[in-house]
């Protein structure tokens, strides 16, 4: 009953409501969540505790959300990859 459906990059993915969003990605073997903006290499969740920022995704239109600190909510919509340019950027990462 706790198995729910979320949308990842337009595709339906089974996930467990209340578990971490990274767990849903790992269970679905979706490791590549973004490409490094400098090298273009694939990146995926690394630390699982909010420190590395490698699992940033866009959740329900909000960019820069760390999947490891986010719990699965039924019906949530997730976009992996770099956020579309319309979202507000984060500051403090570039001098």
Rg (CA), the chain: 13
Q: What angle do CA 3, 80, 34 make, to 5 degrees?
A: 130
Nearest to 47 by CA among 70, 66, 28, 25: 66
Residue from 6, 8, 57, 70 binding another protein (CB under 8 A): 70
Q: Are 4 and 71 in contact (CB under 8 A)?
A: no
What is the x/- site pattern for another protein, positions 19-58, by CB under 8 A? Answer: xx-xx--xx---xxx--x-xx-xxxxxxxxxxxxxx-x--
Query: Does 16 sit near another protein (CB under 8 A)?
Result: yes
Which stretch in 6-14, 78-86, 87-95 sits in contact with another protein by CB under 8 A? 87-95
Find where tokens 């579309």 sit: 84
In angstroms, what is the minimal distance from the CB of 37 to another protein? 8
Q: Does 14 bind another protein (CB under 8 A)?
A: no
Joined tokens for residue 57: 């995704």
Q: Which residues bind another protein (CB under 8 A)?
A: 2, 16-20, 22-23, 26-27, 31-33, 36, 38-39, 41-54, 56, 64, 68-71, 88-95
């Amino acid at each position: 009953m706790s198995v729910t459906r979320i949308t990842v990059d337009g595709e339906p993915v089974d996930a467990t409501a209340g578990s971490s969003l990274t767990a849903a990605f790992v269970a679905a073997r979706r490791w590549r969540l973004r490409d490094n903006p400098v090298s273009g290499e694939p990146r995926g969740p690394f630390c699982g505790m909010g420190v590395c920022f490698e699992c940033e995704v866009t959740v329900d239109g909000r960019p820069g959300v760390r999947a490891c600190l986010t719990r699965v909510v039924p019906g949530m919509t997730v976009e992996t990859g770099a956020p579309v340019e319309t979202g507000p950027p984060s500051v403090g990462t570039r001098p």
